[in-house]
Amino acid sequence: MKIVIVDYDLGNVRSILNAFEQIGISPILSRDKDDILNADGLILPGVGAFSHGMKNLHKYSLVEVLKDYAKTGKVLLGICLGMQMLLDESEEFGNTQGIGLIHGKVIKLPTKDKNNEKLPHICWNEIEPKHQNWNDTILNSIPLKSDMYFVHSYIAEPKDDTNILSTTVYSDYRFCSSLKQGNVYGCQFHPEKSAKIGLEIIKNFVNIAKEGKSV
């Protein structure tokens, strides 16, 4: 079982490593093309600005590698910024191109600018299913309306809403909190920081990686 976390100098990788280790898996941190393509499961972490993240992915020539990995049908999970970069583009700091695995755009979370609707959205917040139940996905067996830890100001809006796995409400706006397209997943929240429920999601990810197939 080879779990790889993409190393592109961004993201709180230690927490992700620790979360996997807590469930008995030792992932490797790598930006090596072969390591990535040979992984059974791939995590794309990310914290910070979209443009900075994309800049680094390009710096290490990882964009095409990630696309090639996705084609293999093995599981990929983008976390927070990692999820956002899966989309076509972001409007943060002007328009920046993303990896483009999922069609759609990253926009700023619309808030009503009242006093208690502040940005960044730093909060434990509930996730709810969009269409399907969560069986056999990374949210398998997660109770509906579980609280996950969010910290972001931007959100992903997939063009095709069948890609939306869960939604969450902030400032009266319902946004996509996790997505799925075949084997490619994204969580806007941080499963590695969402206590025991979050660790269940990590376990689900590992199970899908073990099965080695897309759903």
Least Å from the CB of residue 147 to another protein:
4
Strand order in the sheet with 164-170: 28-30, 3-6, 41-44, 75-79, 184-187, 173-181, 164-170, 121-129, 146-152
Contacts with another protein: how many residues (CB under 8 A)? 34
Q: Which stretch binds another protein (CB under 8 A): 67-75, 96-104, 150-158, 174-182?
A: 150-158
Examine the residue annotation and report whether 58 is marked as an active-site residue of this protein: no
For another protein, give the closer residue by CB, 131 or 196.
196
Residue 194 sits in the site that holds another protein (CB under 8 A): yes
For another protein, give the closer residue by CB, 30 or 72.
30
One of 152, 176, 187, 192 is an active-site residue; which one?
A: 192
Q: 64 vs 56, 106, 120, CA distance in Å?
A: 13, 20, 31
Residue 122 sits in the site that holds another protein (CB under 8 A): yes
Applying CB under 8 A, among 12, 51, 97, 167 the residue interacting with another protein is 12
Residue 21 sits in the site that holds another protein (CB under 8 A): yes
Query: Cα separation of 79 and 76, whole Å?
Result: 10
Query: Cα separation of 131 and 155, whole Å?
Result: 19
Half-sphere exposure for 130 (CA within 13 Å, toward CB)? 18
Examine the residue annotation and report whether 192 is marked as an active-site residue of this protein: yes
For another protein, give the closer residue by CB, 88 or 126.
126
Residue 15 sits in the site that holds another protein (CB under 8 A): yes
One of 80, 121, 187, 200 is an active-site residue; which one?
A: 80
Q: 40 vs 4, 66, 77, 83, CA distance in Å?
A: 8, 13, 12, 19
For another protein, give the closer residue by CB, 37 or 195.
195
Give the binding site for another protein (CB under 8 A).
12, 14-15, 18-19, 21-22, 47-49, 113, 115-116, 118-120, 122-125, 147, 149, 151-153, 170, 190, 192-196, 198-199
Active site (catalytic) residues: 80, 190, 192
